[in-house]
Amino acid sequence: MAASFTFFTNLWYYAVTSMVIPLHSGKQTLLNYLNPISRLGIRKYSFIFPLLCTVVVCVGLELFSTKILAKPTATGMYAIFVLLGTIIYFAFHDGIKGGLTATLPTVGYYIYIIVTRKYEGRQLVVALETTLILAIVYIFLAVIIGWLKQSLDRVIEQETVARMDAENGQLRLQTILNQLPVGVLLVDSKNLKIEANTQAELILGRRIRTDLKTLRKSKNHLSLKNAKPLDPQDWPIVRALHKGETIVSEQIEYIRKEDDVVSLRINAAPIRNRNKEIIAAVSIIDDITQEKELEKRKDDFVNMASHELKTPITSLKLYVESLFSQLKKSPDERGLKTVTGLKNQVERLHELVNELLDVSQIQTGKLHLKKEVFRLDELLAELVDTMQYSRPDSQIKLIGKTPLTVFGDKFRIYQVFINLLTNALKYSPTNKKVIVRYKKAGQRAIVTVQDFGIGIDKQQRKKIFERLYQVIPTSGKSYTGLGMGLYISQQIIKKHHGSIWVRSEKNKGSTFCFTLPLKKQPLRSNV
Ligand code: ADP
């Protein structure tokens, strides 16, 4: 008796602790623990709790039928339903383990009833058969319901893990975005909700985490492009979202507050799903105000320095030229050689300062053209002759017959052509043959300068028109230069509404081409 008492108190202790520990650790309430629905997704299945509770139910049923109802033989009738409910509850609470654990004392209790009610003969057989059938039904129900509960738990757990992973991913992404030195905006195409990182709000000086419609309506900011107010329809992110445009390095001015205008460099792109439908758009905003100020100061300095240098160098050039003309007539060969070297260097210096001045004028938008109507074909012929004369080691051929009349800055076009011709000879160390062609193509004149020199590889071809870009030779001869000539030429041609490009093959040569719009009325020779 004492032993069975200790067994039951121990069991009770385990049942309570098996409930209390998850209650504390999982921060659940008792009601939550008892409610099988709120336990869905928790894959902790108790054995003690269903066992003890079912035993308590059986004892309760026994006491109820013998002491309160005083009809011990009628117990089976309601015990069937009460215990069926208990098994279903525990199968749903603790899975297959809970259902089967509850079935065990239930079947034991039925056997107890058969023994204590002293059934005999036919009654005993029926009672035993019923117990067997009920045991099978209970086990079947415990397994099916328990299996369903466990499957549900698994699905819910997977779902919870996936959701938590997504939430963690979102948090990680947000943290990374907030650490970026650039502003990032993301707009969803469905609800037009905007997400922004901290930097975006700092750059734009306002809270952005709203939706696009509200942002469009708000009047306390203004974007400008080329000093004109930018319609919200033309915001890069709106174009990316509605038109699917990819915007690369677009520069706008943004009035953050009164007297606080910042320069922004904006990239934007649509985000598409597998069916290529736009689901969102992302925009990267970079505050380049300081960068631009620094660049402006640099340009101002180059402009000022080249202006300051130009006057003494021009005088120097004149002095050297006069010295050269005097020495040319004298028998002093050494002196003449020295002055020739000096003259070449001063000319080179003069060219460099002029290029620097041109670049700074282009940068500050001060490169002005003095346009006039002239014959391009005649200008080309004259320049080819002069070049051929000054470079007797070269072989420059001119092909073209059509008279070409253009309206442009003759000096600047001359500059472009001389630059292409000088480059063609400079970058052809062994073969000094150059072919210049010109022709009419529709309303345009096309001029090509072909050499058979070192050529330019594909990667470099895109970059050679950039400011200060020079191809660094990986082997062999190195060439002097600052990488400004082609940049200046491209800007001049652009200002004339023409275009300039290159076709080239490494070690085979290059062909530089440029076009200029033709003047409709042809002129007579005026070069
Ligand atoms: P640079 O003063 O260096 O010649 P440019 O702007 O005129 O500057 O040319 C830029 C670069 O393009 C050069 O460094 C050179 O590598 C390449 N390049 C220009 N013309 C030719 C050519 N005809 N053949 C091969 N490379 C050329």
Please choose from 486, 500, 512 the residue to mutate so as to test ligand 1's pocket, defined by most ligand atoms within 8 A of CB. 486
Strand-by-strand arrangement of the 500-505 sheet = 395-399, 433-441, 444-451, 509-517, 500-505
pLDDT given at position 117: 85
**Position in ligand 1 atom list of the atom nearest CA 449:** 23
pLDDT, tens digit (0-9, with 9 covering 90-100), for 163-214: 999 999 989 988 998 899 999 999 999 888 888 899 998 998 888 777 777 7
Both structure tokens of 139: 């086990």
pLDDT given at position 16: 55
**Ligand 1 midpoint to CA 246 (Å):** 31
**Position in ligand 1 atom list of the atom nearest CA 483:** 8
- Pairing state between β 247-257 and 260-272: antiparallel
Task: With residue 222 as reference, give the H or E element that holds it.
Answer: strand 222-225
pLDDT given at position 82: 92
Please choose from 426, 427, 431, 434 the residue to mutate so as to test ligand 1's pocket, defined by most ligand atoms within 8 A of CB. 427
- Separation of alpha carbons 241 and 264, rounded Å: 19
A 10 A CB-CB count for 328 gives 10
For ligand 1, is residue 453 a contact (CB within 6 Å)? yes
- Separation of alpha carbons 37 and 432, rounded Å: 90
For ligand 1, is residue 50 a contact (CB within 6 Å)? no
Per-residue pLDDT of the chain (527 residues; tens, 9 = 90+): 455 555 555 555 555 555 555 555 555 577 778 888 888 888 889 899 999 999 999 999 999 988 888 888 777 778 888 999 999 999 999 999 999 999 999 999 999 999 988 888 898 999 899 999 999 999 999 999 999 999 999 999 999 999 999 999 989 988 998 899 999 999 999 888 888 899 998 998 888 777 777 777 765 566 777 667 888 888 899 999 999 999 999 998 888 887 788 999 999 999 999 999 999 999 999 999 999 899 888 888 888 888 888 889 989 999 998 888 888 887 778 888 888 899 989 988 898 898 888 888 888 888 889 999 999 999 999 999 999 998 899 999 999 999 999 999 999 999 999 999 999 999 998 888 999 999 999 999 999 999 999 999 988 888 999 888 877 776 667 787 888 899 999 999 999 999 999 999 998 999 999 999 998 754 454 43
Question: Which residue in the block uniquely carries the two structure tokens 């200008």?
Answer: 379
Cα distance from N-terminal residue to C-terminal residue, the chain: 131
- Pairing state between β 500-505 and 509-517: antiparallel
For ligand 1, is residue 485 a contact (CB within 6 Å)? yes
DSSP 504-521: EETTTEEEEEEEEEBPSS
**Ligand 1 midpoint to CA 464 (Å):** 7
Q: What is the 3-state secondary structure (H, E, C) of 393-406?
A: CCEEEEECCCCCEE
Both structure tokens of 293: 């100020």
Q: Contact at 8 Å (CB) between 451 and 395? A: no
**Position in ligand 1 atom list of the atom nearest CA 355:** 2
For ligand 1, is residue 464 a contact (CB within 6 Å)? yes
**Position in ligand 1 atom list of the atom nearest CA 482:** 2
